[in-house]
Amino acid sequence: MFDSKRRVVVVVGAQWGDEGKGKLVDVLAERADWVVRYQGGANAGHTVHIGDVSFVLHQIPSGILHPGVRCAIGNGVVLDPETLFTEIDELVRDGVDVEGRLYVSDRAHLVLPCHKLVDAESSANKAIGTTGRGIGPAYEDKVGRRGIRVLDLRHPEKLRALVERGAEHADAQLARFGSTKRVDVPATLETLDRLRPRLLALAEDVGRCVHRAREAGASVLLEGAQGSLLDVDHGTYPFVTSSSTTSGGASTGAGIAPTAIDAVLGVVKAYTTRVGAGPLPTEFDEELGERVRRLGNEYGATTGRPRRCGWFDGVVVRYAVRINGLSGLAVTKLDVLDTLDRVAICTGYAVDGEVHDEFPGDLDALDRATPRYEWFEGWRQSTADARRIEDLPAPARRYLDRIESLVNAPIDFVSVGTRRDQIIGLA
């Protein structure tokens, strides 16, 4: 993945999240010097299996599991300091050395209890099916210019006024929702006071660090959270998260120039999933949905919610290839399809009698869309031990070849199981 021409690589999800980026980043991080998370917050959940131990990381890049790799949380992330330290403490308890190699952008905005309260009490957020981690309200405060950044903790004398200003806004929202709950300002100040020394010890100008590392020849992996179809601009708005999940967000969210990015790897499942409400054109019927959910253990790493499942959607992934400028794809969880008699790929949508092969921005059109499928015979044998493309059964290779030609991007990696070594393409 990394060579003299490709030193800064972005990894993005090219569907609705949960594509298996954590595992890919974990494996690629072995060859990286830096791994930087550039957006989202504790709404993400990466499960990484090492031997018999599973790590679920919400905010810390999975590169942390490799000794010597430096990890950073970029300015584009909304950081929940309480859960950050819970995560750090759990890693340390499991024997991971975090000391001196985890940095937090001093420009990152904080997720405070008021954000989680507003997220939980808002019926609009419930209708979207948010993760309840306060992500939307924290980004709203950031864009509304009333957020609190990590660097504000350097000025304790100003904190009370900042917290009170945020609380005033949150309380007005809560009152509008008809909620009787209100923000506890003294408790918030107490929490910030308690966390301040620990958080400031990690605070850095991450953009500058990454820039310098790159100039010195380091390899840098920029890790996205969620997926392209949850991007606030390019996703299925309003059923999206509140950040720029696509590769454009990697530049602003890590604090480096777009021209510093050399390649973008898109991660896709061999089928499609989404959590929460919103369109999923290729969604399975209940029976197949339940079967694939069980085979793929499709339950949210953050909320435990069952994920909705469907066939691979070529319209979605082709769109993701275009908006992210994907230079290659990693197809994950191919093994989940091993027992199916036949598999399908969606090649276009029929809307009002016309076939579309571009993903529409208008959800009304998507509501009326009927997927058009190409069917493939299933391979009905285990792919779990395949380590080279040639090891895969011919029908599985035909399936992957069609994905490549349909979405206009080469497949660089295929993962066939949860373990680190179950990846084709790492040679």
Residue type, 153: L
H helix runs in 151-246, sequence order: 156-177, 185-200, 206-215
Does 18 bind ligand IMP (CB under 6 A)? Our answer is: yes
Q: Does 276 bind ligand IMP (CB under 6 A)?
A: yes
Residue 115 annotated in active site: no
- The partner residues of 72 in beta bridges, in order of sequence, read 36, 103
- 235 in contact with ligand IMP (CB under 6 A): no
Is 129 an interacting residue with respect to ligand IMP (CB under 6 A)? yes
Nearer to ligand IMP, 292 or 396 (CB): 292
Q: Is 306 in the site for ligand IMP (CB under 6 A)?
A: no
Partnered with residue 351 across adjacent β-strands are 354
User: For residue 43, which of 11, 74, 83 has the smallest C-alpha distance?
Assistant: 83
Closer of 156 and 238 to ligand IMP (Cβ): 238
Among 96, 98, 120, 128, contact with ligand IMP (rule: CB under 6 A)? 128
Region from 126-134, 198-206, 375-383, 414-422 binding ligand IMP, contact rule CB under 6 A: 126-134
Alpha carbons 222 and 207: distance in angstroms, whole number: 12
Residue at shortest CB range from ligand IMP = 276
Shortest reach from residue 174's CB to ligand IMP, in Å? 17
Closest CA to 29 of 60, 70, 57, 59: 70
Beta carbon nearer to ligand IMP, 239 or 413: 239
Residue 422 binds ligand IMP (CB under 6 A): no
φ, ψ at 73 (rounded to 5°):
-105, 115
For residue 10 the two structure tokens come to: 């972005």
Tokens 């079967």 found at: 291
Q: x-or-dash pattern for ligand IMP, window 45-64, by CB under 6 A?
A: x-------------------
Total of chain residues touching ligand IMP, rule CB under 6 A: 20
Residue 383 interacts with ligand IMP (CB under 6 A)?
no
Q: How far is the CB of 398 from ligand IMP (least distance, A)?
A: 29
27, 108, 135, 267: which one binds ligand IMP (CB under 6 A): 135
Q: Which one among 15, 39, 43, 188 touches ligand IMP, defined by CB under 6 A?
A: 43
Helix (H, G, I), strand (E, B) or coil at 51: coil
**Would you count residue 241 as binding ligand IMP (CB under 6 A)?**
yes
Nearest to 2 by CA among 222, 317, 225: 222
Rule CB under 6 A: which of 196-225 touch ligand IMP? 225
Answer for which of 105, 226, 251, 272 binds ligand IMP (CB under 6 A) is: 226
Helices (H), 325-420: 363-367, 394-407
272 touches ligand IMP (CB under 6 A)? no
User: Would residue 184 show up in a list of annotated catalytic residues for this protein?
Assistant: no
Please, which of residues 326-365 interact with ligand IMP by CB under 6 A?
none
Among 255, 257, 247, 288, smallest CA distance to 271 is for 288
Instruction: Spot the catalytic one: 26, 33, 46, 109.
Output: 46
Tell me how far apart the alpha carbons of residues 15 and 239 are, in angstroms, rounded to a whole number: 13
C-beta closer to ligand IMP: residue 264 or 275: 275
249 binds ligand IMP (CB under 6 A): no
Burial (CB count within 10 angstroms: exposed 0-12, middle 13-18, buried 19+), residue 334: buried
Between CA 395 and CA 255 the distance in angstroms is 44
Tell me the C-alpha to C-alpha distance, in Å, between residue 389 and each of 348, 375, 393, 420, 425.
27, 21, 9, 17, 8
242 is a contact residue toward ligand IMP (CB under 6 A): yes
Q: What is the residue-wise DSSP string for 346-360? A: EEEEEETTEEE-S--
Instruction: For ligand IMP, give the closer residue by CB, 119 or 152.
Output: 119
* Look-up of token digits 């309380």: 171
Closest to ligand IMP by CB, 98 or 128: 128
Coil, strand or helix: which one is 309?
Answer: strand
Place of tokens 């571009």: 358
Task: Considering only the stretches 80-88, 129-137, 349-357, 376-384, report the one whose residues sit in contact with ligand IMP under the rule CB under 6 A.
Answer: 129-137
Cα 320 from Cα 235, distance rounded (Å): 10
Give the residues lining the site for ligand IMP (CB under 6 A): 17-18, 43-45, 128-131, 133, 135-136, 225-226, 230, 239, 241-242, 275-276
Catalytic positions are: 18, 46
